Amino acid sequence: MNTIDVVIPVYNEEHTLERSVLALRDFLGRTMPGRCRITVADNGSTDGTASVALGLASKYQDVILVHLDQKGRGRALRKTWLESSADIVAYMDVDLSTDLNAFPLLVQALEEGYDIAIGSRLLPGARVQRSFKRELLSRAYNLLIRSLFWTSFHDAQCGFKALWRRTAQELVPLVKDQNWFFDTELLLVAAGRKRRIKEVPVTWVEGEHTTVHIRGTVIEDLKGLLRLRFGGRP
């Protein structure tokens, strides 16, 4: 039975963290008893996030806190995934915007032979509630990826992914980005090395509060795509 480390990267989420961790812990306990650990990766929060996480970790043996001094989702996943001892490493957004019922399907895909399994909001069967602006940007961005790199996956940015730890150990050191582009770069490096990627359609509801700055993220993502397109994938 494979062990699983589910990472939740957080930055200033003191009001959301406990509710989300308890909901996730309850779900994993019902669907995958004894297999999962939850790692809260605190990206240098300046509020009470670390205190909340410490309180959870002291109460539940299957919850741990990893603290980083700097922000960056990629930085958090790099540290936690590479230091994990679990067979499978995963991550999801703290607001649990993706319906958790899709998570066992990610694990199942890995156990069936895939290297990486990802949630997709753009596959047939997915159900998505988000603003028109973000929907348009997401579709345009992923179309650009497929046009530049001829990839088969449809949604690089969904914060709902799982992969074998051995795959993470191979690919993550090759990924340069430390922030939001980490997801896309990881998948592009994986595709370039012919790793098998499974997409699972998900139900996804846009959170009311987000720390994502759309303009800055778009610029960062475009720079990353150009770097990989003209500089080459490792």
Q: Which residues are catalytic?
A: 183
The residue whose two tokens read 């595709």 is 191
Rounded to whole angstroms, how far apart are CA atoms 59 and 227? 44
β-pairing verdict for 127-129 and 197-201: unpaired
Rounded to whole angstroms, how far apart are CA atoms 180 and 49? 20
Between the two ends of the chain, the Cα-to-Cα distance in Å is 33
- Taking residue 145's Cβ as centre, other Cβ atoms within 10 Å add up to 24
Rounded to whole angstroms, how far apart are CA atoms 92 and 60? 19
